[in-house]
């Protein structure tokens, strides 16, 4: 009985995420600042934990490079539009599709791994192997790609949005 409710809630969260990512979004300076700060804090915390696993710096660095490329592409294609109820912005649709695809692929992978972890007939070795896979390098790369992308993109939107509102 709980499974359909959980699936429904996850579907709502994903639909909201996709709707918010595609198309024009209202320029909301305080919200953008909060997002930049939160993604920065998450990045710093995960980099601090990466010292426990020095090999993680390779995948984290790859994620940062991917995030920088996405942010650079997004900022080059960002569009602003003044409307009667405020300023709106959007980026290139393909950048958003890549970001959403990364998010969904990683999300589905995590759901499958976690679902298999809680099977009742799992041996202790199977559970430990699954727990080890939770620290895989792809997770770090995707996390840092998201954080770098959003920090760079939202910082750009803040800067350009302020200019557009003044001008």
pLDDT band at 127 (very low <50, low <70, confident <90, very high): low
| H or E element at residue 26 | strand 25-26
pLDDT at 134 over 60: no
Give the distance from CA 45 to its chain's centroid: 16
The whole-number pLDDT of residue 122 equals 64
pLDDT > 90 fraction of the chain, expressed in percent and rounded: 41
Beta strands in 49-166 (DSSP E): 79-83, 86-90
């Amino acid at each position: 009985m709980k499974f359909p409710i959980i699936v429904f809630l996850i579907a709502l969260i994903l639909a909201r995420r996709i709707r918010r990512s595609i198309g024009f979004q209202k320029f909301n300076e305080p919200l953008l600042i909060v997002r930049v700060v939160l993604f920065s804090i998450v990045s710093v915390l995960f980099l601090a934990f990466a010292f426990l696993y020095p090999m993680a710096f390779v995948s984290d660095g790859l994620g940062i490079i991917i995030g920088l490329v996405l942010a650079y592409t997004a900022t080059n294609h960002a569009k602003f539009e003044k409307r009667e109820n405020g300023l709106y912005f959007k980026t290139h649709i393909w950048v958003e599709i890549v970001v959403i695809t990364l998010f969904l692929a990683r999300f589905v992978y995590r759901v499958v791994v976690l679902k298999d972890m809680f099977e009742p007939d799992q041996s202790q070795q199977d559970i430990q192997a699954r727990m080890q896979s939770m620290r895989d390098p792809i997770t770090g790369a995707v996390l840092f790609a998201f954080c770098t992308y959003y920090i760079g993109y939202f910082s750009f939107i803040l800067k350009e949005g302020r200019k557009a509102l003044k001008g």
